[in-house]
Amino acid sequence: MSGALAQHDALRVSADADEERVSESLAEESAIALLFNGVPFAVMMATPADLHDYAVGFALSERIVHSASELELVDVVKREAGLVLHLSIPIKRFAHLEQQRRLIGASGCGLCGAETLDRAIQLPDPVDQQAPIDVAQLMASMAQLAEQQPLNDQCGAMHAAAALTDSELLVREDVGRHNAVDKLIGALARNGERARAVLVTSRASYELVHKVATANIPVLAAVSAPTAHAVRLAAQCRLGLGAFAREGRMTIYSREQQFKRL
């Protein structure tokens, strides 16, 4: 978590003219440049924590590599403008990468910098189906997630993504919802774990469905609303999509058979 938060002095005021000097914990948002085999590929705005997980998850989501073992985090260089991640990938992956788009993204957008619509909107392979996930267990995990966000507890500006595995609820946080999912996918890949579902503390947007489907995880549950494009993509990829997952309720938008109900 080092570097994820910064302290800042502020003035707290109220309508009845009370004033109080306070020290606030703020979420850091840094420019993070990803270089593959020495060549710049992307600059993303993200929380500077869990960087190895982020690099692996980003590379898997972008289909730059096919497994965590194909990527090595060689060095992290701190610059005045942000951080530079030097990453090494096999020659055959790098040769393919040179033919792909270059991406400049921001924490609110997962498609910025795409050269063409065809390159931006690529359909993931259909998700391998698993046994249906119990809705009650899913909702209990969502409630548990609310208690496992230490960075957000301190600053209030973080999204979280969690993987429901057979053994635990694995959580990663970031100011960007898609960054949090990338970190989570990277952590799963590095640990050699398979997730039964991904839970997010945000809306279910297109890029989140795309990342979860690309990672071959069968269910995505979001605390807020889905977009229409996300629902269509989930149906095409055979991804179970639930949203408004809070207060013991959830609305299922695709693959109802992937959710076990009483």
Among all residues, which ones are annotated catalytic? 109
Grouping H, G, I as helix, E, B as strand and the rest as coil, residue 25 is strand
Q: Are 222 and 242 in contact (CB under 8 A)?
A: yes
Q: Are 45 and 28 in contact (CB under 8 A)?
A: no
Tell me how far apart the alpha carbons of residues 124 and 176 are, in angstroms, rounded to a whole number. 22
Over 104-156, what HEC string results? ECECCECCCCCCCHHHHCCCCCCCCCCCCEEHHHHHHHHHHHCCCCHHHHHHC
Tell me how far apart the alpha carbons of residues 25 and 151 are, in angstroms, rounded to a whole number. 9
Extract the tokens encoding 241. Answer: 């999509």
Extract the tokens encoding 245. Answer: 């997952």
Q: What separation in angstroms does the CA of 64 have from each of 23, 51, 54, 100?
A: 42, 17, 13, 9
Tell me how far apart the alpha carbons of residues 16 and 151 are, in angstroms, rounded to a whole number. 31
